[in-house]
Amino acid sequence: MLKLKRVLSCTIVFVLLFTAVSIFDQKSGLTASAESSAEIQAQLDKVQQESNRLQAEISALESANAPFEQQRAAVKKQINAIVKEINLFESKIAACENEIKQLEKEIADLEAKCEKQSKEFKKRLVAIYTGNNSFLSDLSFLMSSESLSDYLAKAELIETMSRRDNKIINDLKKDVKAVQVKIAEQEAKKAEINESKKVVDAKKVELNKQYSKINSIVVSNEEEIRLVEQEAAEKKQIMKDLQKALEEAKLYENGAVGTGQFAWPVIGFYKVTSPFGQRTHPVTGEKQKMHYGTDIAGAGVYGARIVAADSGTVILSKYYGFYGNCVMIDHNNGYVTLYAHMKALSPLKVGDTVIKGTTTVGYVGQSGRVDGPHLHFEVMKNGNYLDPMSFF
């Protein structure tokens, strides 16, 4: 809704701008009144006020948004600190898991040794009682005793071997239990770290919610600021265009620049006796002679008032060969008009400015090479002759 409002506001200003730069009456060909530049100035002042209001609004919005930006930055900093803490917990948990894996491998190795020792002990026992042992074949080792003391000594040897095997196995089992205790400790440590991590994870979730809420406000405010800045930029462009229109309006009003649209040059007479183009010259009789202008005449035309077809600057005002008494006006927009065969020299001097449809250039006569009173009217653009009637 806000965006639509701003678009409508800009549309209205552009309409005003179009109205401002269209300061010419297309129907009559006359310039607007002297109020045109004042009217544009009033519009320019209005847009300037609106631009100032928008700048103030931008400043207010930025000031209102600043605390939220600070809060967002603070929460973001907390989140970053918590992320580091979580990473540390995860690193410790990974270390515990790695330690547990190493201990589990150690248990597996001890259990394998224990299993191997048990198997070897069982083999020796079996060998003793089955006679498959190369050193204690059958019971002959005991039975070969020469005396009771020899028998007891040999029996003691067998018992000592059994005790040694049992001790090795028992020691291995103790080692396994010790490692299992370490694993339990690591599991407990891991569980404790996980609990601490859960607390921090929950805090991170809460901070993320806060950040999301604050960030939503900041983004919304930034979008509002962007829209106002966009409108302010449009107002600045409109001001530039209005300023240009104002300068042009002043130039048009004082006659320095033409409009590109021509007023009829002979007041009250509209008959064209010889158009632009090839013709037989009415005086010399020369055929296929190019006629570069339009001849305007009619009964009673002699002495009729000639006006400037558009605003501009006089660049020639004298008797000019077969043109007779002649005036040329540069309209300072690429166009030049010529007014020939006037009754007398024009009161205008080179450098004078003229107003479209208002300034008197002279009066219809028959000076120069002519066959009767008329105005010979020419139009040139950038040095090229154009048919004057194409402008009417």
Print pLDDT tens along the chain (392 aa): 444 445 445 444 444 444 444 433 333 333 333 347 888 899 999 999 999 999 999 999 999 999 999 999 999 999 999 899 889 988 888 888 888 888 888 878 877 877 777 777 667 666 655 555 444 443 455 555 566 665 565 566 566 666 777 777 787 778 778 878 888 888 888 888 888 889 889 999 999 999 999 999 999 999 999 999 999 999 999 999 999 888 777 776 766 788 889 999 999 999 999 999 998 777 667 776 899 999 999 999 999 999 999 999 999 999 999 999 999 999 999 999 999 999 999 999 999 999 899 999 999 999 999 989 999 999 999 999 999 999 99
Q: For the chain, which domains are there?
A: 1-253 (1.10.287), 271-391 (2.70.70.10)
Q: How many Cα atoms occupy the beta-carbon half-sphere of 129 within 13 Å?
A: 5
Q: Which residue has the tokens 């970053």?
A: 80
pLDDT at 230: 95
pLDDT at 389: 96
Backbone angles phi, psi at 280, to 5 degrees: -90, 125
pLDDT at 15: 44
Beta bridge partners of 377: 294, 339
**Which helix H or strand E contains 118, and what residues bound it?**
helix 35-130
* Residue 250 to residue 355: CA distance in whole angstroms: 12
Helices (H), 131-147: 140-143
- Structure-derived torsion over alpha carbons of residues 57, 61, 63, 67, reported in degrees to the nearest 10: 170
Q: Which two tokens stand for residue 316?
A: 């020639």
Q: Which two tokens stand for residue 34?
A: 């002297």
Is 207 in a helix, a strand, or coil? helix
* Residue 230 to residue 149: CA distance in whole angstroms: 116
| 25 DSSP 8-state letter | -
Contact between residue 311 and residue 356 where contact means Cβ atoms under 8 Å apart = yes
- Structure-derived torsion over alpha carbons of residues 255, 257, 262, 266, reported in degrees to the nearest 10: 30
CA separation, residue 204 to residues 154, 208, 218, 256, 311 (Å): 75, 6, 20, 72, 75
Is 371 in a helix, a strand, or coil? coil
Beta bridge partners of 335: 381
Q: Which residue has the tokens 């009250």?
A: 268
Q: Which two tokens stand for residue 137?
A: 């074949």
* Residue 289 to residue 292: CA distance in whole angstroms: 9
pLDDT at 17: 46
* Residue 328 to residue 375: CA distance in whole angstroms: 13
Beta bridge partners of 93: none
* Residue 333 to residue 323: CA distance in whole angstroms: 24
pLDDT at 246: 86
Residues 6 or more apart in contact with residue 377 via CB below 8 angstroms = 265, 293, 294, 295, 296, 309, 337, 338, 339, 340, 388
pLDDT at 30: 33
Least Cα distance to 354 among 388, 319, 310, 391 occurs for 310
Determine the length of the chain: 392
Q: Which two tokens stand for residue 98?
A: 């790695």
